[in-house]
């Protein structure tokens, strides 16, 4: 009878939505030691609030990224796409033999490969992780794709943590490539839907447009879909715009057209910059028509 895989000490670099969701899910299964470093710890205006988020989940905040790596068996990088390399560099002084580095960021594969090379040069085992769905409501059971030289080594640990994943290959970037290309359709359709419904509401024809589109998408309830995707764009537009810029970089690197992801990034960033989420006081409804009206109101106020 084989011994169960011991629970590792896990350190997050970046303690935002994904890190907190995974931690909350692990906590529901049993004890696990989690550390975190977030750059907001160094911001006097936000440090206490971010540390309070750690304490609420029994996570130990540490003073720096290198310290987090030095104390951990597995480091999970959960930062913004433009900080992937910075995050990797910040942990290098704390890297030790046997450390696992899991990069869950929505970044271009070549960027994640660059970060992985830096980590591997210091003795870390590297894993490219693609998060394939929103982390709520499934938390630690959100579907993942993993690839990279240490993916097979990480697999039993992820299984012990109750995570849901598919091992794609032993090459860094393969998991992220799948996510990046998939996002052309998923995030692009979100932006198309939002532009369609907002224009329909503006022109007073939404009761014709929504059923008409639904009839063309015969197996999809377009009204419910619009409610869902428009809420997601308003809540997560800034982060998704960053992801789509990484998708565009991926396509540019491959030598193919990046027109659609570039436009999608611009649209989702534009929605974020309108401040629609703030107009709802942070509680955005799953209601496409209400969201469209707030978008139009924000546009009108901007003149």
- Mean pLDDT estimate for the chain: 95
pLDDT tens-digit series, residues 268-300:
999 999 999 999 998 999 999 999 999 999 999
pLDDT higher than threshold 70 for residue 301: yes
Q: In the predicted model, what is the mean pLDDT of residues 243-253? A: 95
CA distance 303 to 301: 5
pLDDT tens-digit series, residues 116-138:
999 999 999 999 999 999 999 99
pLDDT tens-digit series, residues 159-211:
999 999 999 999 999 999 999 999 999 999 999 999 999 999 999 999 999 99
Is residue 6 very low, low, confident or very high in pLDDT (cuts 50, 70, 90)? low
Q: What is the pLDDT of residue 219?
A: 73
Q: What is the residue-wise DSSP string for 88-123?
A: HHHHGGG--TT-EEEE-----HHHHHHHHHHHHHTT
pLDDT tens-digit series, residues 27-76:
998 889 999 999 999 999 999 999 999 999 999 999 999 999 999 999 99
Q: What is the pLDDT of residue 218?
A: 80
Cα dihedral sign, 14-133-105-116: positive
Q: What is the pLDDT of residue 4?
A: 59
Beta-carbon contacts of residue 190 (< 8 Å; ≥ 6 apart): 229, 230, 232, 233, 240, 264, 268
List the domains of the chain with CATH numbers. Answer: 10-172 (3.40.50.720), 181-302 (1.10.1040.10)
Structure tokens at 45: 């205006």
pLDDT: is 124 or 217 the higher one? Answer: 124
State CA 72 to chain mean position distance: 22
Q: What is the pLDDT of residue 5?
A: 59
Q: What is the pLDDT of residue 48?
A: 97
CA distance 190 to 237: 10
pLDDT higher than threshold 50 for residue 109: yes
Q: What is the pLDDT of residue 1?
A: 46
pLDDT higher than threshold 90 for residue 262: yes
Q: In the predicted model, what is the mean pLDDT of residues 81-101? A: 96
Q: What is the pLDDT of residue 7?
A: 76
């Amino acid at each position: 009878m084989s011994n169960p895989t011991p629970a590792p000490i896990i350190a997050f670099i970046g303690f935002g939505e994904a890190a907190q969701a995974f931690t909350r899910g692990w906590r529901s299964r049993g004890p696990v030691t989690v550390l975190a470093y977030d750059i907001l710890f160094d911001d006097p205006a936000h440090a206490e609030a971010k540390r309070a988020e750690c304490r609420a989940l029994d996570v130990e905040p540490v003073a720096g990224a290198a310290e987090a790596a030095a104390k951990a068996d597995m480091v999970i990088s959960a930062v913004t796409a433009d900080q992937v390399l910075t995050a990797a560099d910040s942990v290098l002084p704390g890297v030790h033999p046997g450390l696992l580095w899991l990069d869950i960021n929505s970044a271009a594969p070549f960027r994640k490969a660059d970060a992985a090379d830096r980590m591997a040069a210091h003795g870390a085992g590297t894993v490219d992780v693609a998060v394939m769905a929103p982390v709520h409501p499934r938390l630690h059971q959100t579907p993942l794709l993993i690839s990279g030289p240490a993916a097979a080594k990480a697999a039993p640990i992820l299984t012990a943590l109750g995570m849901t994943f598919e091992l794609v290959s032993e090459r860094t970037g393969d998991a992220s490539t799948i996510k990046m290309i998939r996002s052309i359709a998923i995030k692009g359709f979100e932006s198309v839907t939002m532009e369609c419904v907002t224009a329909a509401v503006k022109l007073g024809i939404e009761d014709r447009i929504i059923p008409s589109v639904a009839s063309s998408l015969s197996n999809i309830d377009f009204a419910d879909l619009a409610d869902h995707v428009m809420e997601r764009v308003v809540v997560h537009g800034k982060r998704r715009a960053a992801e789509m810029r990484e998708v565009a970089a991926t396509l540019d690197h491959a030598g193919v057209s990046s027109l659609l992801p570039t436009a999608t990034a611009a649209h989702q960033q534009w929605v974020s910059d309108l401040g629609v989420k703030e107009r709802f006081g942070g509680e955005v409804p799953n209601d496409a028509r209400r969201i469209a009206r707030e978008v139009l109101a924000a546009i009108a106020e901007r003149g």
